[in-house]
Amino acid sequence: MDIEKEQQDPLFKEGLEVRKSVLGADYVEKSIASADDFTEDLQRMVTKHCWGAVWTRPGLDRRTRSLLNLAMISALNRPHELKLHVRGALNNGVTREEIREVFLQVAAYCGAPAAIDSFRVAREAFEEGDD
């Protein structure tokens, strides 16, 4: 992906800044650098539309968006994305206690299996962050 070319698009550029701020520059740069002909359009779309068009909207702050993402990704049972967004939530000021409460809410409304997996994934993310 020609990142310099993409940054000519203000929505992509703003999305890239938010994405790096939440998920960490190393992770995002690695994702974009490893994009190939098959995944390049997905990287472009996620950066521009998810991070640029949605995460930058004024209606919710990043902390609230992170809490919502944790609940939705947990309910969808997407552990790889969940671990990434647990780290992002911590970067956005969400506490471990609040993450626990989100996953308990998931247990009540989406089922114990989703919550059990989410607690396991969050614990892994916490341990990796403690290193």
Q: Is the pLDDT of residue 129 over 90?
A: no
pLDDT digits (tens, 9 = 90+) for 36-63: 999 999 999 999 999 999 999 999 999 9
- Mean pLDDT calculated for residue range 98-127: 97
Axis-axis angle for helices 10-23, 62-75 (nearest 10): 80
pLDDT digits (tens, 9 = 90+) for 57-79: 999 999 999 999 999 999 999 99
Structure tokens at 76: 């969808």
For the chain, what percentages of helix, strand and coil (3-state, to nearest 5) are there?
80, 0, 20
- Mean pLDDT calculated for residue range 73-102: 97
Q: Are 82 and 118 in contact (CB under 8 A)?
A: yes
Among the residues of 76-111, which ranges form H helices?
79-91, 96-110
DSSP state of 54: I
> Domain coordinates of the chain in residue numbers?
3-54, 62-130
For 62-130, which CATH class? mainly alpha
Which of 61, 58, 67 shows the shortest CA–CA distance to 104? 67
Higher-confidence residue of 5 and 52: namely 52
For residue 16, give the 3-state DSSP assignment.
Answer: helix
Residue 85: what residue type?
A: H
